[in-house]
Structure 1
Amino acid sequence: MTYLQYCVATFLLLPAAVVLVHILVYLVDPYGLRQHPGPFWAKFSSAWLGWVAKQGHRSEVIHELHRIYGPIVRISPAEVSIADADAFAVVYGHGNGALKSSLYDEFVSIDCSMFNTRDRAQHARKRKIVSHAFSHKSVLELETHIRRHIALLLVQWDRLYDGAVKGMSGSEGEGGWSGHNGRLWLNCFPWMNYLAFDTIGDLALGTSFGMITSAHDAAPIPAKSTSFTDLEFANPEVTHIPAIAVLNGRGEYAAAMGVLPAWLRPFAAQLPWYRARAQSTPELTGMAIVAVSKRLAVPVDRVDLLSQLQLGSDDRGELLDRKELTVEAQSFILAGSDTTANSITAIIHHIAANPSVQSRLQQELDEYVCTVDEPTATYEQIKHLPYLEACINEGMRVHSTVGLGLPRIVPEGGLTICGHFFPARSVVGVPAYTVHRDPEIWGHDADVFRPERWLDANDKLPAMLKAFNPFSTGSRGCVGRNLASLELTLFAATLFRRYRFVLAEPEKSIETCEGFIRKPVRCDVGIKRRDS
């Protein structure tokens, strides 16, 4: 056989071999999932799930599949989605032995963080050190710093509002805004990102990124790519990245690449869509390296999350080293900015879309939040406001920032979940997006934003609380939930106490795009200062 003939034969036989392998996997059914219904192509290859994830609407697609097939849907040869609130405790509970799937490997940069490590012992060590920094007591000590950044946002919005009522308009450098009908009109989503990024930068590293003041998405990274592996960056040469946009790219890349078959990932990485987003990982790593290096070179005179990490130790008395500090700081910045910005934007949209909800919320805030001396709400003023809490819970339920079924590998011995046995090595996940819309729990209007359901729940409340899972649960649940809850409460209380919001297009639903998390694409609103 000539070389040319060999190449032709290989070209023809390789696709046939790939198809044959997938057919054999289906026939052999090594994961014992054949009895569960699902899309035709998902029975043969996880490439189907990778394609769905790449489109940016995985949670919605899986939700529709549950409508068709029921509570258990096979979404790859090895993975099922289980849309049942009772499954949360089994899949994500303490001590069940289930491990995170290979999806999380795509989030690793420099080294594993507490979020993406798949090793139970490593996670337990990291969580012991990190968790004390996010206790309720520790988080409340950060309130003053959170409120300072909210106040900076109010200064910016008030300035733009004063210009808007005079009929002025702004450039894209200020996020793009205009004034008409006595309101300031803008896309509030970038501003919520600025607020969240600046806040977590300050809380984690003692200094903000300055995005609110500059009204610009920019964060420094080393100017030379060789510096991405230098954990002790001291070179003054930096360039700036659009951190929010880069973070979006990283989530999209990891969510789509992480579900592909291992053999397919190297080939997918060469495709334009993946290559365009692959650079986001070293760029975000560079951002963390610069930020941590700056913080350690010039220590701040107050407690922040990094300083608490430096003081924490594991069971053997060992401290986090420089690499671990950088990795965990990067996780704080990314997780603490992205999810919070998405959630508060969705909350603003839904409250603005429901004038009666907004009026009732503002009536409650007017009674308890005093703005004579301080423009921002305080925790003491708002910690027991039932309608404010209901609005925030309902926003997180309907939007479901982390809506996909976080995948877990079934341990040796298997798991019985909701009456069904799943063998070892199969992958299971519980999609919060779908459980948050279960009509048996939330009623016939489960798709509707209605905060009153939380106040009128009565005997339904225990079932609602079991099904409500915005921060995941168990030992791998969000360690920063106390901080996120405090931020969302302070953000919402202050903004709705000061402004009245309307949607630019009231008839439109909020548009989203999903990588690992579901993000609003934009949120165009008109705001009017309530004291004007």
Structure 2
Amino acid sequence: MSSIPSNYLVLLSPTSLTGTGLGLFVLWYILSSVVAWYRLRHIPGPFIASFSYLWHMGNIFLGCASPEHIALKRYGSLVRTGPNYVVTDDPNILRRINGARSSWPRDSWYTSSRFDPNYHMLSLLDTAARDTIKAKLTSGYSGRDVQIENGVNTQIEFLVETIRSRYLSTSTRHQPTDLAQVIRYFTLDVITHLSYGTSFGFLAAEQDLYDYTNSVDRFIRAITLSVDIPLFRWIAYSPLLTGIMPKASDKSGMGKLIGIGQKIVNERFQDNEKHAPDMLGSFMRHGATREECVSETMLTLIAGSDTTATAIRSTMLYLISTPRVYNRLKAEIQEAASDNRVSSPIGVDEAKRLPYLQAVILEGFRMRPPVVYGQYKAAPPGGETINGVFIPGGTAVGQNAVAMMRSEKAFGAGVDLFRPERFLECSEEARREMERTVGLVFGTGRWMCAGRTVAWVELNKIFFELLRAFDFQPIYPTKPVDEESYALFTHKNMWVAITETA
């Protein structure tokens, strides 16, 4: 038998094979980057984003996605943010690609919103399958089967009682309160009460039960990495890493609450208890399976609490930082209460008759929309021309929510200023158009966020009741809150002093 020549042995050595593999990878990366750049070369954006995901990675690691996306306005209405990502701040483009008859399906970006092996309404890509599950859930979310307003009232009353008994500052007692965490506990109690018929008691416990909120903050950062970067998406949901995802057997974090929710669902199905006046009962009555109920109720917990908490915290921050607006809203609240024009807690219909309150809600949502960007749709196979720009088939186009909310074309001058009067000093037609644009943050058409009704009920009540009962003052006005932004916002250390309204 002839021996293998020594030069072949050198080529087959581990060092040589490693070098060859690395060289092939570098060559593949360069070629694929050139192809990616060339395909969307006509769409402006940060140069590094035209051939890599480094722009997104930098935003994630620095927690600065919001200011970076606002800064994209300088490139125009269609901006490239990745090899296959384009975002827009144009409301008309978003209505076009999200319309009922649109041929733009969801992009695979959505699949990373899963937090267990099962898909839920937000992560499903197949339009027909999503419509089927949505039909089972709509009555629970809309209020047809669930008394949403009564449930929110119960939690608001408890919030006011809790602040009065635990968090008030007086002339003899200084009680710093992290309003960011208090509001987060409130929204968690609201959504668990509506979903399962009983709140999980975060506010009553006055603590982060099971380390849940800390785990969600970590999850938001990790999930943003996986939704924005396909390689991380593949890694995160590969069979090799399923063990590190939150699971019902966990003793803390998101997994613990998944386990609690799973236990409640299992007990309901075991007893065939379909008539409970909560979301879970509604889902069951409309044919949702056990697995669907577990996934969908957990989705309401994550998506329905943190986003609303962001809207409440941000609006409160702008209010207490803007005395002119704070005092005007306070006067409207006190006048409505003293004239006995409102209930306690205020009803949604009553709140809608208070013009400045409505303007504050809309302006707060505009200044800090809970979702920074996302909701990507994939261009149809043949591509499509939008505003004179050709979008090749398969390109993911999503909303740049924070930039859209800072659009001078949509909202007039001074978009960086918290000024609710912009919704009152215009024609009725202009106001309706601004409201429609603000509403796009929830999606539009068939892709409208199912939890919109719950969020608006909370927003129509919470500011009125907090300012009816209390006054708020930031303790650290030069650093009122620690904020980071990914696809969503996180807030911590929003320290305030709360006093009883005189």
The partner residue of 1:325 within 293, 304, 324 is 293
Whether 1:35 and 2:42 are equivalent positions in the alignment is yes
Whether 1:436 and 2:405 are equivalent positions in the alignment is yes
Q: Quick one: structure 1 residues 277 and 480, their matched pair in 2 at CA, closer, same or farther if it must change by over 3 Å?
A: closer
Asked if the contact 2:145/2:277 (under 8 Å) is kept, the reply is no
Cα displacement (A) at 1:159: 1.2
Give the letter for the 2:263 counterpart. Answer: V
User: What residue in structure 2 maps to residue 470 of structure 1?
Assistant: 441
* Secondary structure at 1:242 match in 2: helix
Unaligned segments of structure 2, at least 5 residues: 1-7
User: What residue in structure 2 maps to residue 206 of structure 1?
Assistant: 197
- Deviation sequence 1:452-509 (CA, Å, 0-9, x none): 1111122533542343223121212211111110011111111111111122233446
Which shows bigger deviation, 505-514 or 495-504? 505-514
**1:515-526 equivalent positions in 2, closer than 5 A:** 515-526=486-497
**Counterpart-to-counterpart distance in 2, 1:5 and 1:166:** 81
Cα displacement (A) at 1:138: 4.6
- Deviation sequence 1:181-202 (CA, Å, 0-9, x none): xxx4311011111111111111
* Secondary structure at 1:258 match in 2: helix
Asked if the contact 1:49/1:76 (under 8 Å) is kept, the reply is yes
**1:66-105 equivalent positions in 2, closer than 5 A:** 66-67=73-74, 69-105=75-111
Whether 1:514 and 2:481 are equivalent positions in the alignment is no
Q: Quick one: structure 1 residues 301 and 157, their matched pair in 2 at CA, closer, same or farther if it must change by over 3 Å?
A: farther
The partner residue of 2:386 within 408, 413, 417 is 417
Q: Quick one: structure 1 residues 193 and 503, their matched pair in 2 at CA, closer, same or farther if it must change by over 3 Å?
A: same
User: What residue in structure 2 maps to residue 365 of structure 1?
Assistant: 333
The partner residue of 2:265 within 292, 299, 306 is 292
**Counterpart-to-counterpart distance in 2, 1:264 and 1:9:** 31
User: What residue in structure 1 maps to residue 178 of structure 2?
Assistant: 187
Q: Quick one: structure 1 residues 10 and 289, their matched pair in 2 at CA, closer, same or farther if it must change by over 3 Å?
A: farther
* Secondary structure at 1:406 match in 2: strand
Asked if the contact 2:10/2:16 (under 8 Å) is kept, the reply is no
Cα displacement (A) at 1:288: 2.9
Asked if the contact 2:104/2:380 (under 8 Å) is kept, the reply is yes
* Secondary structure at 1:89 match in 2: helix
Give the letter for the 2:258 counterpart. Answer: T
Give the letter for the 2:53 counterpart. Answer: S
**1:59-70 equivalent positions in 2, closer than 5 A:** 59-67=66-74, 69-70=75-76
Which shows bigger deviation, 344-353 or 287-296? 287-296
Give the letter for the 1:320 counterpart. Answer: A
* Secondary structure at 1:421 match in 2: strand
Give the letter for the 1:153 counterpart. Answer: L
Scaled by the length of structure 2, the TM-score of the pair is 0.87
Q: Quick one: structure 1 residues 322 and 265, their matched pair in 2 at CA, closer, same or farther if it must change by over 3 Å?
A: closer
**Counterpart-to-counterpart distance in 2, 1:48 and 1:115:** 25
Cα displacement (A) at 1:208: 0.7
The partner residue of 1:260 within 229, 233, 246 is 229
Q: Quick one: structure 1 residues 335 and 264, their matched pair in 2 at CA, closer, same or farther if it must change by over 3 Å?
A: closer
Give the letter for the 1:341 counterpart. Answer: A
Asked if the contact 1:368/1:382 (under 8 Å) is kept, the reply is no
The aligned length equals 484
Q: Quick one: structure 1 residues 338 and 380, their matched pair in 2 at CA, closer, same or farther if it must change by over 3 Å?
A: same
**Counterpart-to-counterpart distance in 2, 1:76 and 1:204:** 37
Cα displacement (A) at 1:281: 6.2
Q: Quick one: structure 1 residues 300 and 365, their matched pair in 2 at CA, closer, same or farther if it must change by over 3 Å?
A: farther
- Deviation sequence 1:31-85 (CA, Å, 0-9, x none): 8311122223222223542343343222321222332x33322111111122222
Cα displacement (A) at 1:97: 2.4
Q: Quick one: structure 1 residues 102 and 509, their matched pair in 2 at CA, closer, same or farther if it must change by over 3 Å?
A: farther
Q: Quick one: structure 1 residues 34 and 380, their matched pair in 2 at CA, closer, same or farther if it must change by over 3 Å?
A: closer
Cα displacement (A) at 1:29: 4.2
The partner residue of 1:349 within 317, 324, 336 is 317
Asked if the contact 1:205/1:306 (under 8 Å) is kept, the reply is yes
Whether 1:158 and 2:129 are equivalent positions in the alignment is no
Cα displacement (A) at 1:112: 0.8
Which shows bigger deviation, 95-104 or 28-37? 28-37
The partner residue of 1:379 within 333, 336, 348 is 348
- Deviation sequence 1:203-259 (CA, Å, 0-9, x none): 1101111111111121xxxxxxxxxxxxxxxxxxxxxx2222222222221111222
Give the letter for the 2:492 counterpart. Answer: V
Asked if the contact 1:104/1:116 (under 8 Å) is kept, the reply is yes
Cα displacement (A) at 1:106: 2.0
User: What residue in structure 1 maps to residue 3 of structure 2?
Assistant: none
**1:216-295 equivalent positions in 2, closer than 5 A:** 216-218=207-209, 241-262=210-231, 265-266=234-235, 282-283=255-256, 285-293=258-266
- Deviation sequence 1:362-405 (CA, Å, 0-9, x none): 22112223699975323343232111111111111101111213
* Secondary structure at 1:100 match in 2: coil
The partner residue of 1:502 within 463, 473, 493 is 473
- Deviation sequence 1:390-432 (CA, Å, 0-9, x none): 1111111101111213222112222332231211111111201
From the two aligned structures, give the one with the greater helix fraction: 2
Asked if the contact 2:97/2:103 (under 8 Å) is kept, the reply is no
* Secondary structure at 1:262 match in 2: helix
- Deviation sequence 1:148-202 (CA, Å, 0-9, x none): 111111111111245x32644xxxxxxxxxx1xxxx4311011111111111111
The partner residue of 1:25 within 6, 9, 32 is 32
Q: Quick one: structure 1 residues 282 and 477, their matched pair in 2 at CA, closer, same or farther if it must change by over 3 Å?
A: same
The partner residue of 2:141 within 119, 134, 139 is 134
Q: Quick one: structure 1 residues 9 and 265, their matched pair in 2 at CA, closer, same or farther if it must change by over 3 Å?
A: farther
Unaligned segments of structure 1, at least 5 residues: 169-178, 219-240, 313-318
Which shows bigger deviation, 198-207 or 4-13? 4-13
User: What residue in structure 1 maps to residue 64 of structure 2?
Assistant: 57
Q: Tell me how large the CA RMSD over aligned residues is.
A: 3.1
Scaled by the length of structure 1, the TM-score of the pair is 0.83
User: What residue in structure 2 maps to residue 11 of structure 1?
Assistant: 18
**Counterpart-to-counterpart distance in 2, 1:62 and 1:128:** 34
* Secondary structure at 2:231 match in 1: coil
User: What residue in structure 2 maps to residue 106 of structure 1?
Assistant: 112
Asked if the contact 2:481/2:494 (under 8 Å) is kept, the reply is yes
**Counterpart-to-counterpart distance in 1, 2:433 and 2:151:** 36
The partner residue of 2:456 within 485, 503, 526 is 485
